[in-house]
Amino acid sequence: MLKPDAVENGHIGGILDKITSAGFKIVAMKYTQLSKRDAQAFYAIHKERPFFGELVDFMTRGPIVSAILEKDNAVEDFRALIGATNPADAAEGTIRKLFATSIAENAVHGSDSDENAAIEGAFHFAGREIF
């Protein structure tokens, strides 16, 4: 996902360019907005965290871009491309270093395993929307 902060700050094009230039193929994509229920479900794993309410409010405050990306070693390579959760700790040239503003408003989300990538892809897309 390209999160609401990235969309608000005009970074859709810049982030997609970094993603495709790094060799990822976009196999599904949409411009959409999460409901509270959507965000609570997507981030259910974090529901006991103190920042859960803030996270849901942030992720629902404006449109996002969701996508499914394909590449060999995609999960690991995408996490390297986006950088650390906190942009202050993210390596130079990473998407979060370039485009994120804080640990909460960190511009992008990447799946943390192939299993979660499949679950998260199915959360956003119907089968006929995946190419």
Q: Which residues bind ligand CMP (CB under 6 A)?
A: 46, 51, 54-55, 85, 103-104, 106, 109
Shortest gap between Cβ of 85 and ligand CMP (angstroms)? Answer: 6
Shortest gap between Cβ of 46 and ligand CMP (angstroms)? Answer: 6
Residue 122 vs 127, nearer CB to ligand CMP: 122
Residue 32 vs 131, nearer CB to ligand CMP: 32
Shortest gap between Cβ of 49 and ligand CMP (angstroms)? Answer: 7
Contact predicate 103/87, CB 8 Å: yes
Query: For the CA atoms of 5, 60, 118, 27, what is the dihedral angle to 10 degrees?
Result: -60
- Asked if 109 is an active-site residue, the reply is yes
Instruction: Name residues whose C-beta falls within 8 Å of residue 110's C-beta, 6 or more positions apart in sequence.
Output: 75, 78, 79, 82
E-strand ranges in 18-108 read 25-32, 64-70
Residue 54 vs 115, nearer CB to ligand CMP: 54
SS3 25: strand
Residues marked active site are found at: 109
